[in-house]
Structure 1
Amino acid sequence: MTELVFKGKEFVWNHHLAVPFRPLVVQADKGIGEPRLDGNLIIQGDNLHALKALLPMYSGKVDCIFIDPPYNTGEEDWSYNDNVNAPMIKEWLNSNPIGIEDGLRHDKWCAMMWPRLRLLHELLSDDGSIWITLDDNEVHRARAILDEIFGEDCSIGQIVWQKRTSRENRAVFSPSFDHVLVYSKALKDTWKLRRNRLLPKEGGYANPDNDPRGPWASIPFSAQGFRENQVYTIVTPTGVEHRPPKGRCWGATEPEFEKYKERNLVYWPKGGNGKPRIKQFPEEAKGLVPMTLWPAAEVGTTEDSKKVLMDIFSDYQEDQLRFHAPKPVDLVRRVIEIATRKNSVVLDSFSGTGTTGHAVIAANKWDGGNRRFILCEMEDYADRLTAERVRRVINGYAFTGTQKTELAREKLNWRTIEKAADLVHKVQAIENLHGHEYDRIKKEVKDGELVVTGEKAVAERAEGLGGTFTYCTLGDPVELDRILTGVDLPAFEALGPVLYHMATAEVADPAVLYAADFYLGEASAYIVWMIYKPDLDWLKTSDAALTLSFARHIHGLRPDKKHLVFAPARHVSQRMLDSEGLGVEFAPLPQSLYRVERG
């Protein structure tokens, strides 16, 4: 494998290991709903530190990562500010904004991305995937980095997204697309098998005959080729006789077709005169394999996303929304459709305007899912823009105009014109299914495509989609050697996940971090406890020590499991614990060097 070499690589190779753990500090007044670290999260702070803070609770638990890092065009105001402790490169790894005249800007971009991608790799689940949007400036270097970290065989594909439809006459070539790199921890063929699902088929479902099984679509009852036992005459309910189309045969033998009729799975178009079609219910649809070309008509453009942002923040001044090419919600929703299940965790560590959070909420609203998002943003607009967008999407926002939702898009060619009746039936099915949700269903032909759109007039306020999230900042680093001095005593919920993760190589459950009785959680090998309070005087007392009575107590709770107890000191020997068969092991905290008062 060809290796990418860039200045500073040897210094950032394992830099992610030197980044200290910092606890997530809940800012309850900035979120929506009951604060919880196992729900939707928005984290304000350097994303390198935020990713490290997530490791004890989310390592190997994230199913989909979507990031839109700096494209490094030389016109973006981003800075390299990682605290890499290497005097040889501090001179050029500085916090000055990186511009087009910076001869090392590509090296700095690689040095910035490397440790972040290492941490993202750790957070990703075994069959999860990472999706990265880039342009031509760094896409080739990004592929080389990803090949090293994930492995060449874990490259799933490279997608072309049409980001704009207007022409840029000032450019040498008018840029019309960006790249989306897709990698996974799993090999390509394995990821294909574990992939959530194919894209939903175009067209809506309806129930014109009030089938008790619910809405359905129809597919042609014919197949390519010639099979003698599948060539016969079919008579419609109105007496019209049909033979298979030329060069084709029916989709099943005549006895099988009769079974379809008995099960009420046959639909006769054209008022009962047309060739038979077979009912297909949503759960039976195989769907469509995603293509590597994603047109603007399907997933939106950067101009579309700017308009959405302006609608949501209609009370903001234009200079408050000066963002270069925010990503469309439909683009991220397409990724979510392919890469997630209904209970997946979706992470965006370059969250910007909060599109990923918006897309996750919209996807849950659409299919009843319970996906969770984690957004990281270091800039000062994390609260007033990133989180505020999510608040407005959840609660609704002031808006006057027409909300439009695309319901179907069909390319018009000779084949669709020949089967115009089928196309009309598809549109009618959409109207039957969604007509009550909108003021009108608009049908228009545009650029060779039939577009069906639901339109609803909004007088004063756009309806919220519902949901909750917790807003966090990053606390002071948890540095175990500094705890020895008693100067830095982190909170129980800050120190606990770090020790749990270090001791078990497993993730802590955020839901139990506020539990009583010093309980940290249950790992595969141990139930883990930590006798600790962030109080130096208390840590010096006998209450902070592992005692025989405490060991007997926790053994009695779960005698079938071993117990690991972190504590500053102990008042019982390991020999006595073993002699009673309690299955309790002691792990000293740094505070064990303190003098413990025996009362």
Structure 2
Amino acid sequence: MPTLNWIGKEKVVNHHRDVPFRVLEHQYHFSAEKGVSAESSAEAGNMIIHGDNLEALKALLPEYEGKIKCIYIDPPYNTGTEKWVYNDNVNHPKIKKWLGEIVGKEGEDLSRHDKWLCMMYPRLRLLQRLLKDDGVFFISIDENEIHTIRILLDEIFGSNNFIEQIVWNKRVPKNDKGIGNIHEYILLYSKQSKHDHRFTQLKEGIDEIEELIQKSKRKNLSIAETETEVKKLYKKNGYDRGITLYNNLDRNYKLWGKINMSWPNGQTFGPRYDVLHPKSNKPCKVPDRGWRWKEDTFLANVNYDEIEELPDGSYKCGKIWFAKDENTQPSSIKYLDEVNDFLLRSIISLKSSGSIDLEGIFKKSAFDYPKPVRLLELLLNSFQDSESIILDSFAGSGTTAHAVLNLNKLDGGNRKFILVEMEDYAEDITAERVKRVAKGYGEGKKTIEGTGGSFDYYELGEPLFIGENQEHLNEEVGIDKIRQYIWYSETKTSIPVIAKEERLKQSQNKKAESKHYLGERDQTAYYFYYHPDEITTLDHDFLATIKTKAEKYVIYADNCLLSKEFMAKHNIIFKKIPRDITRF
């Protein structure tokens, strides 16, 4: 496998490990029903984080490592221009500062490609860690970095986990190089190739066709008249055969088509048996190479007790179509709603209408070149998981969240989104867009009904560890944040929430657990024996305060006076603060 090298690579290969772990500071909760409130909601699940995405990804690790089903990112394309809202030549002050600190003097000589790779590499490493084992990763990119990002992703994800390089035909040309460039790329990788992935998409025009049929029914058009209207629509829009094949309507106005029943392989032969015509009762013509189906399958689909004569003189018998007589071979019947999707194509033709989407929400062009909602809906619905967590760490205007909310409304799903945006518009554009989509927007005939939904908004807070080598706990973050981190590091779960009333009762109960008790999981009790202003010691006096009976005990403290033999006998594990606290 080819290896990609660039100036500064050796300085950033392990940089994701050195990024400080910052706590997430909750700012407010939003719901479509109640608006903004101060309290967070564990049930919401949706998050918008304002802050540098490298540090935000690190902050997500304790709770979300290995739990994200899908990641979609739309990073800077590195075009070298200065016209993007997200500074696309990667000279943003925060990134320049980071390059200066991490890459050092070499950074002064970096080309814009080297800078871009230095910026992307540690972020991709953290993103890969956040994915579930059966997770999938999409990244939008154009010709400026497609050649480098492919090699970089092969290195991080493994070349055997590459699935496809999708071409997005935007239909809107960019004419700055003497050629009408109308496409971008979407690279698709999996976390592990051992998991089977099947990506599908709805056939183009399904919604429009259904709308036409419903309109015809309201006008009391006959089936024949409606079929004529459907065929006109097919011709007008130039749909492919995957749609136009289905041009017949049954008595319930459901579209169906005739599927060839001949044996499909030109080198082999299928079964041969007699198929009787429903009217003449004579055997129909057998295909030259036999039938596609076994006789049992045919008999399970045909129904001679329910013969329906069609206007053109042909017949329907269950799910088999027969011509007027036995001289034409029959076909199987397939309904369009049974085959309304197909495998996601490696070329997606979809107009670049993201700016129009935003103008409908903000009544102005609030963001340059956002991705169209329809494109994100197509990608996020392609892996058929309506309960997934979806992460976008280059959130921009919030298109990913918009698509998630739309899909949930459409199919009743429970997808969750996590957005990260480092620019100052994270509140005024990213979060505001999600609020309006959830509540509804527009006026008059252009009113768009709200999708419903909620999210919690966060800012990146203080680092949990301080010092040149992150050797000290930062007490400024507060004991609750530290306790949450310890619990996450041990159990990979959220710390149990105890109501204030219950805490008061426990504090008044002489038999209540120590305030240093974190919780119990898998027969292990966890304790964080810590005081900001004094040294704590794990000794027999502290053990006397423990009320929980467990098979094993993990106890954090500054020192330990218990013997190794005693701890081994009683299944006690001592962890020294802060030395033995896991760094993510």
Q: Which residue of 1 aligns with 2:509?
A: none
1:156 Cα offset (Å): 1.1
Relative to structure 2, which stretch is displaced further, 507-516 or 36-45? Answer: 507-516
TM-score in terms of structure 1 length: 0.71
- Among 74, 91, 94, the alignment partner of 1:79 is 91
In 2, are the aligned partners of 1:546 and 1:565 still within 8 Å (CA)?
Answer: no
In 2, the alpha carbon distance for the partners of 1:274 and 1:521 equals 70
Cross-structure match for 2:200? 198
2:359 aligns to what? 310
How far has the Cα of 1:498 moved from its partner? 3.7
SS at 1:476 equivalent: strand
Contact 2:30 2:435 in 1 (8 A): no
Cα distance, 1:5 vs. partner?
A: 1.5
Contact 2:539 2:562 in 1 (8 A): no
Given the superposition, is the C-alpha separation of residues 125 and 256 from structure 1 closer, same or farther in structure 2, using an over 3 Å criterion?
closer
Partner of 2:188, secondary structure, is strand
- Out of 550, 554, 578, the position equivalent to 1:564 is 554
1:509 aligned partner: 494
The within-5 A match list for 1:93-108 is 93=107, 104-108=111-115
SS of 2:575 mapped into structure 1: strand
| CA distance, structure 2, for counterparts of residue 37 and residue 142 of structure 1 | 36
Q: Which letter maps to 2:10?
A: E
SS at match of 2:482: helix
Q: CA offsets, 1:211-235, max 9 Å, x none?
A: 9xxx996663724356453552331
Gaps of 5+ in 2: 214-248, 322-331, 504-514
* C-alpha distance 60-88 of structure 1, shift in aligned 2 (>3 A): closer
Deviation, structure 1 residue 154: 1.6
**Alignment equivalent of 2:145, drawn from 114, 138, 144:** 138
Q: How does 1:139-288 map to 2 (within 5 A)?
A: 139-163=146-170, 165-187=171-193, 190-191=194-195, 193=196, 195=197, 198-200=200-202, 203=206, 220=259, 222-225=261-264, 227-235=270-278, 243=284, 252=293, 256-261=297-302, 270=311, 273-274=314-315, 276=320, 287-288=341-342
1:69-122 deviation per Cα after TM superposition (whole angstroms, max 9, x unaligned): 00111114242534558779435648xxxxxxx971111001100111111111
Q: Which residues of 2 match residues 312-351 of structure 1 at below 5 A?
A: 312-314=361-363, 317-318=364-365, 321-323=366-368, 325-339=369-383, 341-351=385-395
Q: Which amino acid aligns with 1:536?
A: P
- Note the 1:520-539 alignment, pairs <5 A: 520=518, 526-532=524-530, 536-537=532-533
Q: CA RMSD in A?
A: 4.1
Distance change (3 Å), C-alpha of 1:248 and 1:543: same
Contact 1:159 1:292 in 2 (8 A): yes
Tell me which residue corresponds to 1:595. Answer: none
2:543 corresponds to which residue?
548
Distance 1:510 1:3 in 2: 42
Question: How far off its partner does 1:549 sit?
Answer: 3.6
The share of aligned pairs that are identical, in percent, is 34
- Pair 1:264–1:167, CA change in 2 (3 A): farther
Distance of aligned partners of 1:249 and 1:353 in 2 relative to their CA distance in 1, 3 Å threshold: farther
- Superposed CA deviations along residues 171-200 of structure 1, whole A, max 9, x for unmatched, are 31111000111122212xx34x2x255334
1:123-150, CA deviations, whole angstroms, 9 ceiling, x for partnerless residues? 1111212111111001101111111111
SS in 1 for 2:165: strand
**Number of corresponding residues:** 495
Quote the Cα distance in structure 2 between the aligned partners of 1:274 and 1:263: 10
TM-score, normalised to structure 2, is 0.73
Match of 2:70 in 1: 64
In structure 2, distance between residues paired with 1:334 and 1:285: 17
1:513-556 superposed Cα distances (whole Å, 9 cap, x missing partner):
99966565666694544345xx735x6689999822443x222x
Distance 2:296 2:101 in 1: 81
Pick the aligned partner of 1:290 from 344, 350, 360. Answer: 344
Deviation at 1:578, TM superposition (A): 5.0
1:511–1:247: structure 2 CA closer, same or farther, 3 Å change rule? farther
Secondary structure, counterpart of 2:56 in structure 1: helix
Question: Matched residue of 1:23: which SS?
Answer: strand
- Aligned-residue offset at 1:332: 1.2
Query: What code does the residue aligned with 2:201 have?
Result: L
Query: Is 1:3–2:57 an aligned residue pair?
Result: no
Tell me if the contact between 1:568 and 1:591 (Cα under 8 Å) persists in the aligned partners: no
507-516 or 177-186, which moves further after superposition?
507-516
Say if 2:20 is the partner of 1:35. no
**Do 1:13 and 1:114's aligned partners in 2 also have CA atoms closer than 8 Å?**
yes
